[in-house]
Amino acid sequence: MKYDVLIIGAGAIGASIARELSRYLLKVALIDKENDVGNVTSMANSAIIHSGYDPIPRTNKAKFNVLGNKMFDQISDELDVKFERNGSLTVALYDSQLPLLEELAKRSKENGVKVKLLSKEEVLKMEPNISPEVKGALYAPTAGIIDPFNLVVHTVENAVDNGVELFLNEEVINIEYHDELSKVLTKDKIFEAKIVIDAAGLSSDKIARMVDPNIDWKITPRKGQYFVLDHYKVGLVNRVIFPLPSEKGKGILVSKTTSNNYIVGPSSEPVDDINDLSTDTMTLSNIRFQASEMVPSIPFNQTIRAFSGNRATCTRHDFVIERCKGKENFIILGGIESPGLVSSPAIARYVVEEFVKKTLTLKENPSFNPRVKKYLRPKEMDFKERNELIAKNKDYGEMVCFCEQVTLGEVKDVLSRSVPPRSVKAMKKRVRAGFGKCQGGFCQPRILAELAKHYKVSWLDVNYDELDTNILVKNVKEPK
């Protein structure tokens, strides 16, 4: 299989690049080792579209964060992804932190980010549930929150609709680099491409070393643990609330999500294994303590889930965005940790303009459509719209997930699209079935049944997530 460009990794970065390339007449492959797109770091993060007030000026992080942030109104509209520019507050709880706030304000100015220093009174007026101990805050109105699951899914869907080929469950085992046509080997496929892009996130160093064993950086993953709380009684906090950042990152934040939950976290712990997604009691209680210092009334008894994700922190302490030395047609995007999500569309544009365009002659794709087919969300419609929809398609009147009020119509819709869910978890990421307080207790059998029906497989062959994670192990009714 020969391609102009092959992208390794279908997370936020790989997805954005694929979509950006689909604007041109190119043969593009997007491959990922997982059973779904956006299934690693892009799915387990704070889901924040950062303003860019915090990265050190003139770094890649600062540059792409600020550029990326500006692109999200258009992207969320074109890709029909929930996004709210609700602003962020970075709060000082001690007098000794006030100079740091001013320093951050200066940094914001250098980065070109609009911010405002707020007094204690102004903070409490904006966010009455912040601790009365607060001394002041830095307000960044351009920060926002996004649905990170559908951001990646819809980006890839749009790319595929515009001609990109997606391959899942393809783990790269070796790369044979050649200036004209490189070979990328997976367990049972050989992909050939003129340009190979490493967007492998936590594995970006491993992939890069397949081409250049002497790269001068490596990934040192850092785990972040989180709490997710059930649907809120409106108004605990309306903006993203950060503590002051430190070397370890932006600190433990408290935020609402686009699905009307609250998220609290992350911790920041070095881990040896990129697949270590465990949670532990001590870290979680520490998160609880620190978050409660900022927002004392967080209803932790409403916790519906704790999870963790790993950041692709790298030893260069900045995003690696470059051609491989001496192997110009291998492009490395490494160490893309926070603010990677917000930076992804800007990085994608840069990669196309600075690298791909200089190697290949690009012709615009005349049939490129920047929009995904509109997603119908009955829950957000008024009665009249909803009844018209149900009159046309009865499936939108049948609820399959009671907690999140997801209809059969929505389930069937995502199965009919170009990046359909292949597992129960992939379905959950798209339509939110199983995200509510019962965590799938009621709806999982129904979702499993719909997946089995769609793919015409036995119930025993429906996976929870990766291949070989079947939920059911034995049919006790059928005779052997």
CA distances from 15 to 80, 149, 270, 277 (A): 15, 12, 27, 23
Nearest to 7 by CA among 149, 155, 188: 155
Kindly identify the residues of this chain, within the stretch 26-55, that bind other proteins according to CB under 8 A: none
Of 21 and 448, which CB lies nearer to other proteins in the complex structure? 448
Least gap, CB of 252 to other proteins (angstroms):
16
Member of 279, 286, 292, 359 binding other proteins (CB under 8 A): 279
When asked if residue 469 is in the footprint of other proteins (CB under 8 A), the reply is yes
Of 16 and 463, which CB lies nearer to other proteins in the complex structure? 463
When asked if residue 439 is in the footprint of other proteins (CB under 8 A), the reply is yes
Member of 13, 284, 372, 426 binding other proteins (CB under 8 A): 284
Question: Contact letters (x/-) for other proteins, 299-338, by CB under 8 A?
Answer: ----xxxxx-------------------------------
Tokens (6 digits) for 25: 């007449």
Size of the site for other proteins (CB under 8 A): 53
Kindly identify the residues of this chain, within the stretch 369-398, that bind other proteins according to CB under 8 A: 378, 383, 386-387, 390-391, 394-395, 397-398
When asked if residue 278 is in the footprint of other proteins (CB under 8 A), the reply is yes
Cα–Cα distance for residue pair 261/237, rounded to 1 Å: 11
E strand segments, 129-221: 136-140, 144-146, 165-167, 172-176, 182-186, 190-198
Member of 444, 447, 450, 451 binding other proteins (CB under 8 A): 444
Least gap, CB of 399 to other proteins (angstroms):
4
Give the residue numbers marked as catalytic.
Answer: 50
Member of 12, 28, 228, 356 binding other proteins (CB under 8 A): 228
Of 364 and 382, which CB lies nearer to other proteins in the complex structure? 382
Of 49 and 448, which CB lies nearer to other proteins in the complex structure? 448
Which one of 67-75, 158-166, 186-194, 271-279 is the stretch in contact with other proteins (CB under 8 A)? 271-279
Cα–Cα distance for residue pair 105/108, rounded to 1 Å: 5
End-to-end CA distance of the chain: 42
Of 56 and 391, which CB lies nearer to other proteins in the complex structure? 391
Task: Write the secondary structure of 340-387 as one string of H (helix), E (strand) and C (coil).
Answer: HHHHHHHHHHHHHHHHHHHHCCCCECCCCCCCCCCCCCHHHCCHHHHH
When asked if residue 461 is in the footprint of other proteins (CB under 8 A), the reply is no
Determine how β-strand 144-146 pairs with β-strand 116-119: unpaired
- 28 DSSP β-pair partners: 5
**Do residues 430 and 411 touch, judged by C-beta distance below 8 A?**
no
Member of 366, 476, 479, 480 binding other proteins (CB under 8 A): 476
Kindly identify the residues of this chain, within the stretch 396-415, that bind other proteins according to CB under 8 A: 397-399, 402-403, 405, 407
Least gap, CB of 465 to other proteins (angstroms):
6
Cα–Cα distance for residue pair 99/93, rounded to 1 Å: 12
When asked if residue 445 is in the footprint of other proteins (CB under 8 A), the reply is yes
Of 1 and 460, which CB lies nearer to other proteins in the complex structure? 460
φ/ψ of residue 358, rounded to 5: -85, -15
Residue 203: DSSP 8-state? G
Tokens (6 digits) for 187: 């367990």
Cα–Cα distance for residue pair 153/81, rounded to 1 Å: 10
Of 190 and 472, which CB lies nearer to other proteins in the complex structure? 472
- 206 DSSP β-pair partners: none
When asked if residue 286 is in the footprint of other proteins (CB under 8 A), the reply is no
Neighbours of 439 (CB within 10 A): 14
When asked if residue 440 is in the footprint of other proteins (CB under 8 A), the reply is yes
**60-79 helix and 340-350 helix, angle to the nearest 10 degrees:** 90
Of 98 and 277, which CB lies nearer to other proteins in the complex structure? 277
φ/ψ of residue 2, rounded to 5: -105, 135
- In total, the chain counts a number of residues equal to 480
Least gap, CB of 438 to other proteins (angstroms):
4
DSSP line for 78-106: HHT--EE---EEEEE-SGGGHHHHHHHHH
Residues that bind other proteins (CB under 8 A): 228, 231, 275, 277-281, 284, 303-307, 378, 383, 386-387, 390-391, 394-395, 397-399, 402-403, 405, 407, 437-442, 444-445, 459-460, 463-466, 468-469, 471-478
